[in-house]
Amino acid sequence: MTNFISVQLKKASEVDLAKPLCKFIQQTYPAGEAQAEHCRAADELNKLRKSALGRSLDKHESALETLMRYYDQLCSIEPKFPFSENQICVTFTWKDAFDKGSLFGGSVKLALASLGYEKTCVLFNCGALASQIAAEQNLDNDEGLKAAAKYYQFASGAFQHIKDTVLSALNREPTVDISPDTVGTLSLIMLAQAQEVFFLKATRDKMKDAIIAKLANQAADYYGDAFKQCQYKDTLPKEVFPVLAAKHCLMQANAQYHQSILAKQQKKFGEEIGRLQHASDLVKTVASRYDEYINVKDLSDKISRALTAAKKDNDFIYHDRVPDLKDLEPIGKASLVKSTPVVIPISQKFTDLFEKMVPLSVQQSLSVYNQRKADLVNRSIAQMREATNLANGVLASLNLPAAIEDVSGDSVPQSILQKSKSVIELGGVQTVDQLIKDLPELLQRNREILDESLRLLDEEEATDNDLRAKFKERWQRTPSNELYRPLRAEGVNFNNILNKAVHADGQVKERYQSHRETIALLCKPEPELNAAIPSANPAKTMQGTEVVNVLRSLLANLEEVKKGREQLENDLKSVNFDMTSRFLTALAQDGAINEEAISVTELDRIYGSHTHKVQESLQMQEELLKNIQNAHQEFSKMKQSNNESNLREEVLKNLAVANDNFVELLANLKEGTKFYNELTEILVKFQTKCSDIVFARKTEREELLKDLQQSIAREPSAPSIPSQPAYQTMPAGGSKPVSSTTPTPAPRTMVAQGPPYPTYQGYPGYCQMPMPMGYNPYMYGQYNMPYAPSPMYPNPGQAPYPAPQQPGYPYPQQPYYPQQ
């Protein structure tokens, strides 16, 4: 029974996914059932991670199913949540699967705020656990053989997928266990083992020897390629190398054995003996070198019996010439395995916890669409409001409709009384005074939140710069000044918004002061208001004339236009159309969303009729104002004019203007208060974002400092010890150095050799040369190795001594500083 190689699992540090995801959901989605459902899904995801990574996993399909479901869920949320250092910042920490650590330094680990890193490590564990489950199968029955082949091919596909994607997923140097070279080798090892399982099944099913020989030869090739890939690299556990070398020989021996049976059937008795001899030599090589890893007694006995019988028959009966190995026809190959591609979902029982949440690209498109929609609606409403203010201003300058209502000359016109009543109902100057008094407090609150947010960034950035200056190139993480650029840009934008708001507040206050006295007059009771308006001769003679009737009709039409705008404004605000399905359809069909083209088309379809009505309203007002001004000119010519009447008319005009300014100022101040309150919510979210990223950076900084301390502890405190001077090794009166009384033993297992083919005359790698002393016919030298010689063994036949390692470094080929 041969041993199979299984891969160790990576170990992950605990991470709380629920808190940052719920915070993002609450900031992004409006309060309601959808938000609550997404938060519950985030809690379930956190529980799923704990089940998949927070405990020891059994070597059972159910444990692998949990891992695969977690991997599928990570793939599902990747397009829906913006995982990055400056958005949803979650730091995932994983240990190197093959690093055993050291007494002082601990094991190598890497911490990254990258969902791609988490996916890569989880998929590695899927492949590793699949290899362990496959190795546990009972290969004495069909079910076990089929399951082992399936899991080995799945593991091969998982490792191959990591090889293809790890560098782009991490955007930095990975740990050795998930580096492209390592996982590429693991993928090939798993494929070789799957092929070996098919060989075992073919043997068990007693298939034709020609087929079995091809299957075995293909498995030998896979093992040989895997050995070549990792031969000179210190990335995999040391026990892997002798197993690969032994399996390479054993599969070749099996191929030769079954091909010898085919030769016997074809009455090629010399070929039969030649192949059995080669198989016997291969098995002896494994037995002599790797008996502690692989038990070959059964195969060795079977080959020996066959070889003895074949030689006996040939010597006494057939007398067939035994060909040299180089003259034997190569054995064919038949591959029945392939790496199972990683196709999402890899779990058959996967259910997306965030199925109702739209992808991030759709969310972004919706955000831009809503901004376009708001701009369109606000632009249309602003046009109508500006037109209404213009109309009110023109009417106030003409003293309309008060001029045609003032029939007695000593009472308050009805339109002025209505304006006075409206101002009083809205609170008058007291309301405006209170709103203006509140503005500085609201502004100061927003200033303090913004300043505190930027202070957090400044302090963390200063700390990061100090540590970077101290540790230089060892401080391997994204500089804070680069990471905070988007946040800094947001801060500058918020500061500009506040500055503009301060300027706008000043204009409102200045305008209010210029009209406050007249607005206060409108707030007085009717008798006081009437007393404040100068009396004048009545204009009763003008009542009932054609020009007055025309003015009344035109003013009534203008009032209808203004009322129509109020309804049109409500219609514009009430239009609601969900673009989610439209963007999802575009994403499914094209793989991308052309937001601008889709949004412009849909906005034109939805709002086209409303914007057309807005333009009609503006054109109608323009014509009405022109006619009102012409009619008022005729009215002014006909009306008796004197100083008293002119003074009265001027006061009435001012009261009308004051009313219009009061209404506009009150609206502006309420909008300003609403703006500051909404900005407070936005700035609090901004402060939370800054606080979160600073906290994450602080945690990352502490872990990185800890790793740097461990790394420094592993470094040698002094250069390598110099060689001992010759005179110190000489005896007191002699000239020969004192030799060591204890020789250094050679290691039993040789880990850096090529696959151990026998070297004898007739083998393709044979090269005639003088045999050195102590020659081992199974030892490779630099002249007869099929692969490049190891620098550890430069001379043929020389006893293998381990190469000296770099002093003080337990991991001399570590190309990076681990992060946490």
454-483 pLDDT, tens digit per residue, is 999 999 999 999 988 888 888 878 888 888
Give the range among 187-196, 520-529, 680-689 with minimum mean pLDDT.
Answer: 520-529
DSSP 8-state assignment for residue 83: B
Specify the CATH number for the domain of residue 298: 1.25.40.280
Res 802 pLDDT > 80: no
d(CA 377, CA 470): 55
- Note whether 275 and 283 are within 8 A (CB): no
Quickly count: other Cβ atoms within 10 Å of residue 2's Cβ: 18
Is position 769 within any domain?
Answer: no
Quote the CA–CA distance of 404 and 549 in Å, as a whole number: 9
- Model confidence at 712: pLDDT above 70: yes
Number of domains present in the structure of the chain = 1
Per-residue pLDDT tens over the stretch 742-775: 333 333 333 333 444 443 333 333 333 333 333 3
Query: Which residues are CB-contacts of 410 (< 8 A; sequence separation ≥ 6)?
Result: 530, 535, 536, 538
In this prediction, residue 702 has a pLDDT band, given cuts at 50, 70 and 90, of: confident
Q: Does a structural domain hold residue 677?
A: no
Q: How confident is the model at residue 235 (pLDDT cuts 50, 70, 90)?
A: confident
Residue 109 covered by a domain: yes
d(CA 283, CA 301): 10
Model confidence band, residue 104 (pLDDT cutoffs 50, 70, 90) = very low
pLDDT tens by residue, 118-141: 999 999 999 999 999 999 999 999
Residue with tokens 């500058």: 492
* Beta carbons within 8 Å of 708's beta carbon, 6+ residues apart: 471, 474, 475, 817
Q: Phi-psi category of 85—alpha, beta or left, where left has phi over 0 and alpha has psi -120 to 50?
A: alpha
Crossing angle of the two packed helices 240-265 and 209-230, in degrees rounded to 10? 160
**The pLDDT value given to residue 709:** 78
Q: What is the mean pLDDT of residues 503-525?
A: 84
Which residues touch 661 (CB under 8 Å, ≥6 apart)?
Answer: 511, 512, 515, 519
Query: Using one digit for the tens of pLDDT, what is the confidence trace for 398-449?
Result: 878 777 765 555 677 778 888 888 888 888 888 888 888 888 888 889 999 9
Report pLDDT for 6. 94
Tell me, yes or no, whether 729 lies in a domain.
no
- Work out the pLDDT band at 815, boundaries 50, 70, 90: very low
pLDDT at residue 747, rounded to an integer: 36
Rounded to the nearest integer, the mean pLDDT of the chain is 81
Domain assignment present for residue 151? The answer is: yes
Establish if 623 belongs to a structural domain.
no
Count CB neighbours of 519 within 10 A.
Answer: 21
pLDDT value of residue 441 = 86
Stated length of the chain: 820
**Does the global pTM surpass 0.85?**
no
Query: Does 216 map to a domain?
Result: yes
Overall average pLDDT of the 20-38 stretch: 88
What domain range includes position 285? 11-327
Q: Is residue 174 part of a domain?
A: yes
Banded model confidence at residue 2, pLDDT cuts 50, 70, 90: low
One-letter amino acid at 46 equals N
Per the rule left: phi > 0, alpha: psi between -120 and 50, beta: everything else, 599 is alpha
